[in-house]
Structures are given as structure tokens and as C-alpha cells.
Structure 1
Amino acid sequence: MKKIAFILVMIVSATPFAQDIHTKKGYAAEGYDVVAYFSNQALEGDTMNTTTYGGVKYKFATAENIKTFIANPEKYTPQYGGYCAYAVADSGKRVQIDPESFQIKDGKLYLFYDAFFSHTLKKWNEEGADMMQIKADENWEKMQLEKN
């Protein structure tokens, strides 16, 4: 009986629930279509095209994009919970994003904060995207451990 309970706990722990996902405006990527980014488009999703994954709501521009997402949600889920990738790398902080500032690198979606004088996508690339990604990965792992 104890082995069965342990296995159940492991299965529940492995499911994609309670993700640390930025959900300003109630949706991942502030309601932008995470699949459309992979076609180099920042498209706002439609409330008629929504789904939930891991307890997080996502909006899509088309019903076709929902199907694409459902077939492989981990591919389209933004890195670092959809927080600004530069801020995670630079300071280990969760910072909101500008959903129109993004980069697809190595088949992964990175979102950034951009304002009048602060273009973090530009800084990310100037400082070296590969190096910044390594720093962000390390910081994100620490941030997740601290959260739990």
C-alpha cells in the first residue's frame, strides 16, 4: 500500500500543475497566442479560442493554433514562466513583459520587457543570447527552489 501511495504522489508531482507562469490579464503571455510566435507573429488571442494547460489559461488567434498547442504544449510554453528572460538572467527577478517583444531560439519561446528606454531583447542579444540563456536557466532553477 505504501508503494502505491508513493507512486501516486510521483505521478501527481510529474503533472504540469502549479506552474510558475506569468498570467497578467489572466492568461499566459498576457493573452497573446504562444503558437503564433513560432511563425514570427505577435498576435493577441481571441477569447473564443482558449484552453487551459497546467492550471494556466492560454488564448489563441485561431482554433487551429489551439490544436497545435494541445498536441505539444511544452513546446509552446514560454521559457521562465513567461517572465522577462533578460530580467531572470540579469537579476533573478520576475518582471512583466511586453508581449510583442519575443525571440524564438533553439525552438523555445523567450519573452521580454520593453519600454521607452529599456529594450531588454536588444540587451539580451548584445550581451550574448547564449550566455544570457545559461544565466537565466541557472537563476530560474534557483527561483523555483526558493518558491517551494
Structure 2
Amino acid sequence: MKLIASSIAALVASASFAFAGDQYIDETGFAASGYDVVAYFGLDQSAVGTAQPEGVPGNANITAEYNGATWAFSSEANRDTFLANPAQYAPQFDGHCAYGVSRGGKVPANPNLWRIVDGKLYLNITENVVGFWEEDIPGNITLADGNWTGIEPQAASTRTIPSFSSSAPVN
């Protein structure tokens, strides 16, 4: 019985990994452009319609591997928190723009255009797109979740984030 349960658990784990899409990685070579994804959860969120605080750059010497990508962190404590439950901290839609996914495509996302909704991190591509996203966040999440199943297996975006100059990761 234990062997069957272990086999089922291994099958489920490998099946969910097989369905994971490619993480968006820009020219920094890091997921989330080298920003510390755990740090977002400690930042104060601004009201809808106002700019969020900038993300926290990670350190190139404090990293972890997840979903085929390297993630940078501002502290070892944040890295360890991430490793305990990476799916909780990784941005939704493999780091692609949440509004783009709601419209059926994979486009890059800017790590400074973020929002946490129901404990999940969402990124968007430009300030204009954030405006569209924020017009109906729950509706856009529903659309994106519905679209994601069909587009997740597609290759990650290879485009550069417009008007974004990453200072992360730092050494």
C-alpha cells in the first residue's frame, strides 16, 4: 500500500512538472529579471490606480533553481523561504504579463509592475497595461486562468521588456 501511495505521489509530481511552461527570463538571465520574488510579499501595496513600490533587486550570489530558471534573492532567508514553497512566491503565468495572458498571449513582464491578489504575485508589462489590468482585476484573472491551460505549453516569450532597465541582480 505504501509503495502504491509513493508511486502515485511520484507520478503526480512528475506530471505537474511536465506541464510547467517555460519561465520568462530576460537578458539578465534570471527569472523575474533578478528581483527577489519573496520580498514583494513584505512590501506595502499601493491602492489600485496608483504606482506600486519598486521591487527589491536580488543578489547574483544568493540564488535558487526552480522551473528551469535561476532566481536571485536579496537575502539567504528569502531564498530559504522560497525554496520551502517556490510555487507560493513565483509570479503567476511563469512570470509573463498577467494582462497579456488574459488576452491569450505570452508577453514579458516588468518586475516593478506588480500586484499581489489572494496571495499570488502577478506582473504586467507596461504602466498602460496596468491600467487595463486594474479596470477588472478579478475578471482579468479569470480570463488569464482560462487561457493559461492552452498557452502554457508554448515557448516563453523572448521579447525584451519595453522601457525597463533592470538594476538586478546586484552583487
TM-score bracket, normalised by the shorter chain, equals 0.7 to 0.9
d(CA) in 2 for partners of 1:50, 1:112 = 23
Question: Which consecutive residues of structure 1, in runs of 5 or more, have no partner in the other structure?
Answer: none
Measured in 2, the distance between the counterparts of 1:17 and 1:142 equals 11
Q: Residue 27 and residue 67 in structure 1: after superposition, are their counterparts in 2 closer, same or farther (change >3 A)?
A: same
Q: Structure 2, unaligned stretches of length 5 or more?
A: 44-53, 156-171
> Superposition pairs for residues 39-118 of structure 1, below 5 Å?
39-40=42-43, 42-90=55-103, 92-114=104-126, 118=127
Cα separation, partners in 2 of 1:37 and 1:14, compared to 1, 3 Å: same
Corresponding residue to 2:41 among 38, 41, 44: 38
- Greater mean alpha carbon deviation, residues 58-67 or residues 7-16: 7-16
Q: Structure 1 vs Structure 2: percent identity of aligned residues?
A: 36
What is the alpha-carbon distance in structure 1 between the residues aligned to residue 152 and residue 137 of structure 2? 22
Q: Which has the higher contact order (CA 8 A, sep 6+)?
A: 2
- TM-score w.r.t. the length of structure 1 is 0.82
Confirm or deny: 8 A CA contact 1:17 1:54 kept in the other structure.
Answer: no
SS in 2 for 1:139: helix
Considering only aligned residues, what root-mean-square deviation do their CA atoms show, in Å?
2.3
Q: Distance in 2 between matches of 1:17 and 1:144?
A: 8
Equivalent of residue 122 in structure 1, options 118, 122, 131:
131
Structure 2 residue identity aligned to 1:12: S
Instruction: Report the TM-score, using the length of structure 2 for normalisation.
Output: 0.72
Measured against aligned partners, the alpha-carbon deviations of 1:59-103 in whole angstroms (never above 9, x if no partner) come to: 01111100110111110011011000011102x111112210100
